[in-house]
A and B are shown apart, each in its own frame.
Chain A
């Protein structure tokens, strides 16, 4: 005899609503906001049976101006730095209640690379069954585009302005993925809004495994990066194709997959679309030196992750999902 699930059970809700969007329309993000798109894709991949903890930042602000909310899944925002710990508490509670509702934590690069890194490291060390998704728009956008440790080298922000003495941000983008890798959590990946099915797949993988998972999603911010909203996808795709933002997967800290690049584009193709790098195109030896520096960083990524190859083409969506993989096979 089959048992009919109650009409309000998450499984039944999911059945009735094949494309369930945890984050719905009606939020207040800027046009072309990469993070808004990324968050929608992430929640589509998760489905309804989830509790979300969200760090302070653009996403929190543009989705929940009281008395409205754009979230259709249970959602909590506490403060800027504590999201991994809040998620840990939620996970511990649900575990004690014997429920298998998934817990997902969302944060910006500021919340993840900087102020929340300590709590994130601790959550990973304890290997909570939480998927942490970082929407990396490479600056503190919510407070008006200040540099974070994720801001790329030489990029202009309001606190790393170019001037007679400076070429934008002096320091390198923090290699967060290596820090995450050192925690040897079951799964970590990078993804981007430019390759939505790859992003969805990585979120589903992160959710499917038992234990902590991390997905870093490159999320263009037209306002902060200085490009038209209509260019967000193009910019995000060029970040991959130039080697600036490699798409990779790690299991227990070891590299198991990287999206190969059939044709590597020069970094200037990526940089020139964005106002935050405008000063690098001035007729100035220091600017030229920084362009070379950024190209060298992309080359380094291409070497490190062995991205060069003809196996798949990130520009076609088929290829984007055909990821070269080793190690464990995913269902």
Chain B
């Protein structure tokens, strides 16, 4: 059914169709509309679930950990400071390999305080041992949310679905919401092989000495790498039901012989897509959308970059003192490629700065007459800084 619906409401409907039994979250903008919508559905009896209204995100993450470990499908959502407050528990969920699904409505992190969108929050959680999928629009957010439950439960790994705050969560778009029957055909009831059950008592979360710790970390790393197959399979199988594919780990759009490419992550893809149409003067440009940040799709990336002379990596976060986060990963992945493009790594749109259509021509113009930059904030206004800080 196609309807104009707010991103958060659509995500909440998708979550509800996955029949979570336990939902727990704490209010923070721009995530709040999602849980408010779920709360309404539970109150109306449209969704049969326990809503555990906690006193912090730290507890929200802990509640879904406990619920999923005890054998129920569990869901949470958060943003920014809330995500950071969850950090210790997210590492724990990752290490214990508990299959929960979370929506991260991406938002900048203070200080300086910002209530607006970028992706510093989920990038800071990159190493928690969760799978991370980024969505370019709300239709993808709906489909990815549904896929996430199947991926999580088949791999027994947690999945974070990242959607840009406001840009997606607060925007009305025409969206195809699947039917309950479609979702039921795709997603079997929750089953967790290590569920806490008195009929088969096991201990979860034991102390692990140096004798076994490396092996546990290796197994976790390998499980995340292997999850690539389930991400691809979930996308394929869901496409067979609803007719939409999001190209698994990484999407490429543009002629295969293009010499220029722009790689990005999240909703800015839509802007670049429109801008490319509006600016044919730049010739063939490949747009590469990173859907999976974890596992990082090295082989797909190498394939997508074949034949490129220049690749712009455009991202919405940074590692101060290091540079781009996605940029560094792309560089590392392409280092082993038989031939690799020059890489220009920029951050833009930090703390909600607008990403207008003319970003596209400005980016391409800049790399045309400039040596590749290791990393720079593209849309910086240096004159707003005191001279010594520029």
A and B associate: yes
Q: Considering the chains assembled together, what is the distance between the CA atoms of A121 and B61 in angstroms?
A: 17
Q: What separation, in Å, do the CA atoms of A51 and B200 have in the docked complex? A: 11
Q: Which residues of B contact A71 (CB under 8 A)?
A: 201, 203
| Contacting pair B56 A76 (CB below 8 A) | no
Q: Is B144 an interface residue (CB 8 A)?
A: no
Which residues of chain B in 15-55 are interfacial with respect to chain A, using CB atoms and an 8 Å cutoff?
21-22, 24, 48-50, 52-55
Q: How far, in Å, is B65 (CB) from chain A's closest CB?
A: 6
Q: Which of B50, B55, B62 contacts A96 (CB 8 A)?
A: B50
Q: Report if A9 contacts B (CB, 8 A).
A: yes
A212 to chain B: closest CB distance in Å? 14
Q: Is the CB of A89 within 8 A of B21?
A: no
Chain B interfacial residues counted at CB < 8 A? 46
Given A60-B207, A122-B55, are A49 and B66 also a contact pair (CB < 8 Å)? no
Known contacts: A75-B203, A82-B89. The answer to whether A51 contacts B196 by CB under 8 A is yes
Query: What's the Cα separation between A189 and B68 when bound, in Å?
Result: 31
Q: Is A69 an interface residue when CB atoms closer than 8 A count as contact?
A: yes
Contact A77 B204 (CB under 8 A): yes
How many Å from the CB of A54 to the closest CB on chain B? Answer: 8
CB distance from B149 to the nearest CB of A (A): 15
What is the chain B residue whose CB lies nearest that of A63?
B203
- For chain A, residues 82 to 124, give those with C-beta under 8 angstroms from any C-beta of chain B: 82, 84-97, 101, 118-119, 121-122
Cβ contact within 8 Å between B198 and A90: no
**Is residue B350 contacting chain A, with contact meaning CB distance below 8 A?**
no
Q: Which residues of B contact A88 (CB under 8 A)?
A: 52, 54, 59, 62-63, 66
Given contacts A118-B55, A122-B55, whether A89 and B66 have CB atoms under 8 Å apart is yes
Partner of A75, one of B52, B65, B200, B204: B204
Contact B62 A85 (CB under 8 A): yes
> What per-residue 1/0 map shows which CB atoms of B58-73 lie under 8 Å from chain A?
1111111111111110
From known contacts A49-B198, A51-B70, A92-B72, infer whether A66 and B58 are also in contact, taking CB-CB under 8 Å: no
Complex: how many Å from CA A121 to CA B203?
26
B89 touches A89 (CB 8 A): no
Find chain B residues with CB under 8 A from A49 CB. Answer: 198
Contact B203 A92 (CB under 8 A): no
Contact of B59 among A51, A76, A122 (CB under 8 A): A122
| A residues contacting the other copy or chain, number (CB 8 A) | 48
Per-residue A-contact encoding for B63-107, CB less than 8 Å = 1, 0 else: 111111111101000000000000011001000100000000000
* Residue from the list A9, A66, A85 in contact with B66, Cβ < 8 A: A85
Is A118 touching B66 in the complex (CB atoms < 8 A)?
Answer: no
CB 8 Å contact bits of A145-157 with B (1 = contact, 0 = none): 0000000000000
Contact code string A109-143 (vs B, CB < 8 Å = 1, else 0): 00000000011011001100000000000000000
User: CA of A291 to CA of B65 in the docked complex: distance in angstroms?
Assistant: 47
B351, chain A: closest CB distance, angstroms: 29
CB distance from B81 to the nearest CB of A (A): 16
Task: List the B side residues contacting A65 at CB < 8 Å.
Answer: 206-207, 209
Please state if B207 and A61 are interface contacts (CB–CB under 8 Å): yes
> Chain A: which residue is nearest B69 at the CB level?
A76
**CB-based A-B contact count at 8 angstroms:** 168
Q: Is the CB of A66 within 8 A of B209?
A: yes
Q: For residue A66, which residues in chain B have a CB less than 8 angstroms away from its CB?
A: 206-209, 212
B205 touches A (CB below 8 Å) = yes
Residues of A with C-beta under 8 A to B56: 118-119, 122
Most buried by B among A61, A89, A90: A89
A67 at the A/B interface (Cβ < 8 Å)? yes
A90 touches B62 (CB 8 A): no
Whether, in the assembled complex, A48 has its beta carbon less than 8 Å from a beta carbon of chain B, the answer is yes
Q: Pick the contact of A85: B59, B202, B208, B209 (CB < 8 A).
A: B59
Among A50, A76, A81: residue with most chain B CB under 10 A: A76
Which residues of chain B (184-226) have a CB below 8 Å from chain A? 196-209, 212
Q: How far is the CB of B192 from chain A (nearest CB, A)?
A: 10
Closest B residue to A53 by CB, please name it: B66
Least distance between B310 CB and chain A CB atoms (Å): 45
What distance in Å separates the Cβ of B220 from its nearest Cβ neighbour in chain A?
A: 14
Interface assignment of A274: CB less than 8 Å from any CB of chain B: no
Are A89 and B52 also in contact (CB < 8 A) when A76-B204, A119-B59 are? yes
Bound together, the chains give a CA A234 to CA B338 distance in angstroms of 75
Cβ proximity bits A2-34 to B, threshold 8 Å, 1 near / 0 not: 000000111001000000000000000000000
B208 partner residues in chain A, CB cutoff 8 A: 66
A74 engages B67 (CB within 8 Å): no
Closest to A102 in B: B198
Q: State whether A64 touches B55 (Cβ < 8 A).
A: no
Q: Which residues of A contact B206 (CB under 8 A)?
A: 64-67, 69, 77
B201 near A72: Cβ-Cβ < 8 Å = yes
Question: From residue B208, how far is it (CB to closest CB) to chain A in Å?
Answer: 5
Known: A66-B209, A92-B50, A119-B55. A86 touches B203 (CB 8 A): no
* Nearest 5 interchain pairs by C-beta: A89-B66, A85-B62, A93-B72, A77-B205, A82-B62
Chain A interface residues (CB < 8 Å from chain B):
8-10, 13, 48-51, 53, 60-61, 64-67, 69, 71-79, 81-82, 84-97, 101, 118-119, 121-122, 125-126
25 contacts between A and B (CB under 8 A): A49-B198, A51-B198, A60-B205, A61-B207, A66-B206, A67-B206, A71-B203, A73-B201, A74-B203, A76-B69, A76-B204, A85-B62, A89-B22, A89-B64, A89-B65, A89-B69, A90-B66, A90-B67, A91-B66, A93-B74, A96-B21, A96-B72, A97-B70, A119-B55, A122-B59
